[in-house]
Amino acid sequence: MPRICRPLRIARVTTSAALAAVLAIALSVTAAQAQKLEGLWYARNNEGSVQSFVANAARISVVSPQVFSMDSTGVIRGSISPLIVEAARKHGVKLVPLVMNPGFDLASLHRVLTVPEARAAATHNLAALCREQHLDGIQFDFENLFVGDRDAFTAFTREASDSVHRAGCTLSAAVVPRTDDDRGPLPYHQWMYDYWRGAYDYKALADTLDFLSYMTYAQHTAGSTPGPVAGYPWIEASLKYVLAAGVPPQKISLGIPSYSDYWFPGYDPKNGARSRASDIEYTRLMAILDSAHVKPQWDNTQKAWFAQWPRNGVFELAWVEDARAFKAKLELVRKYKLRGYSVWLIGTEDPATWNILGPIAK
């Protein structure tokens, strides 16, 4: 009897193992399909941005050219490069341009939000833009928004959403992130909260809009001390905050920078000597580092590269975003099961980034 039973047990184990293997394959296929992310890339009407989009459109879900501005009366001006439109249509990329307050002007935005005639004109003109340009959607890029206008911005967004949806377009918003509701100890922190971070009611906006592009970049800028473009701990803390506020993961597109930041000494006759900084393309920054014979060092906490070097006895500094840094941030999108990612700015990226994106939603 034992000799008869042993083969039967082996057969059962083999059958179970086979079933488990089939199930694992099925689950892996399902997981791969579920991990198709919506890849949104911001663009400008300049040569580098347009050329990179045309070359890589097949690996992009949504293109958002920063080309339209809304003045204080609600009038919208601007145009999209025909090359971007042609490539988007050819590769099935959704065309969702940005509408911004020109120069991120505080006063003009405040007037649109608070003057009934300007507000009505703005909602009408947004719908007209959607229809006339045959767009898939529109995204707000309203920044330098005073915290006292938070409710007015939310109300305006509701009205605009109704108008734009009736015209057949989606409506989303690029919003500046924050990690908490503390204004901070220094005047710089308080200014950032009052005019850049604090005015967005994330939950109310998400309830109204199709999604939010959560701009988790520009952690440090030309106006701050040097630091990472988008440090990993800061991104994750900002993401945890917006999720805790009740925004569903499927309505969050995580901001990822493709540009780097470079700090250097500057001088001009009007302002004299001062520290300068600028956003910079990956390939251009690498050329600067190569000419200085500098190799950047990987910061495993911030998930980015850092370099500092002297020129004529004065140090220059850079935080570098490349494909490795992009991949680390992309893992947060998968970890928190977000809708996808929003990248600023196409044309500034490490060319190797296109090889690590994974499947995208179309």
Q: Percentage of the chain with pLDDT > 70?
A: 91
pLDDT number for residue 231: 98
Residue 11 predicted with pLDDT over 50: no
Q: What is the DSSP letter of 92?
A: T
The pLDDT of residue 34 is 53
Q: Which residue has the tokens 């592009």?
A: 213
Residue 127 CA to residue 20 CA, distance in Å, equals 53
pLDDT number for residue 26: 42
pLDDT in tens, 38-88: 999 999 999 999 999 999 999 999 999 999 999 999 999 999 999 999 999
Report the amino acid identity of residue 170: T
Per-residue pLDDT tens for 28-42? 444 444 579 999 999
Global model pTM greater than 0.85: yes
Q: Which two tokens stand for residue 69?
A: 């501005």
Q: Are 345 and 259 in contact (CB under 8 A)?
A: yes
User: How far is it, in rounded angstroms, from Cα 214 to Cα 255?
Assistant: 5
Q: What is the mean pLDDT of residues 138-166?
A: 98
C-alpha to C-alpha distance for 75 and 123, rounded to whole angstroms: 10
Q: Report whether 89 contacts 57 (CB < 8 A).
A: no
pLDDT in tens, 229-250: 999 999 999 999 999 999 999 9
**279 pLDDT more than 60:** yes
pLDDT over 90 for what percent of the chain?
90
Per-chain mean pLDDT for the chain? 92
Note the pLDDT of residue 276. 95
Which CATH fold topology does 38-257+322-355 show? Answer: TIM Barrel (3.20.20)
DSSP string, 252-313: EEEEEE--EEEEEEEEETTTEEEEEEEEE-HHHHHHHHHHTT---EEETTTTEEEEEEEETT
The length of the chain, given as a count of residues: 362
Q: What are the boundaries of each domain within the chain?
A: 38-257+322-355
Q: Is the pLDDT of residue 209 over 90?
A: yes
Instruction: With CA atoms as reference, report the closest residue to 319 among 340, 349, 298, 341.
Output: 298
**For the chain, counts of helices (H) and of strands (E):** 11, 15
In this predicted structure, the answer to whether residue 25 has a pLDDT above a threshold of 60 is no
